[in-house]
Amino acid sequence: MSENKHTQKEQLAKCESMSRLQSIISGKWKILIIWYISVYKIQRFGELQRRLGDITQSTLTKQLRELENDGIVHREVYAEVPPKVEYSLTEMGESFVPILLSMKEWSDENLMV
């Protein structure tokens, strides 16, 4: 294989991984959902909804399910009445926290009015 084709494959692989990342964290609320769970370690649905403010129950449910399916968030259901569900970050989700901290630092430095 020529070096040029090898380089093109590497570049394509990098683009694919960024595309996958974008699909995981896209959505108006996902970064904040991950942020709040990282800060408070464990969050219940109602706590997240109150912290996020202007989010509908269906949107929060959808985004939490997507984050769970993507391996970022863990959902723990307790067998009690009323049902108790807690959300925490998975190991992969925890590994994203330093990136969030860098994003917050950049935002503090560049976007604070």
* Structure confidence by residue, pLDDT tens digits, 18-28: 888 888 888 89
Q: What is the mean pLDDT of the chain?
A: 90
How many distinct structural domains can be found in the chain?
A: 1
Q: Could you tell me the CATH number of the domain that includes residue 86?
A: 1.10.10.10
Stated pTM of the model: 0.83
Q: Is residue 59 part of a domain?
A: yes
Phi, psi dihedrals of residue 13, rounded to the nearest 5° = -60, -40
pLDDT digits (tens, 9 = 90+) for 62-72: 999 999 999 99
Q: Is residue 81 part of a domain?
A: yes
For the chain, how many helices (H) and strands (E)?
Answer: 5, 3
The token pair that represents 21 in the structure block = 């990342």
pLDDT digits (tens, 9 = 90+) for 42-62: 999 999 999 999 999 999 999
Q: Is residue 16 part of a domain?
A: no
**Terminal-to-terminal C-alpha distance of the chain:** 52
The whole domain housing 50 covers 28-110
Phi, psi dihedrals of residue 77, rounded to the nearest 5° = -105, 130
Q: Is residue 18 part of a domain?
A: no
Q: Is residue 8 part of a domain?
A: no
Cα 21 vs. chain centroid, distance in angstroms? 10
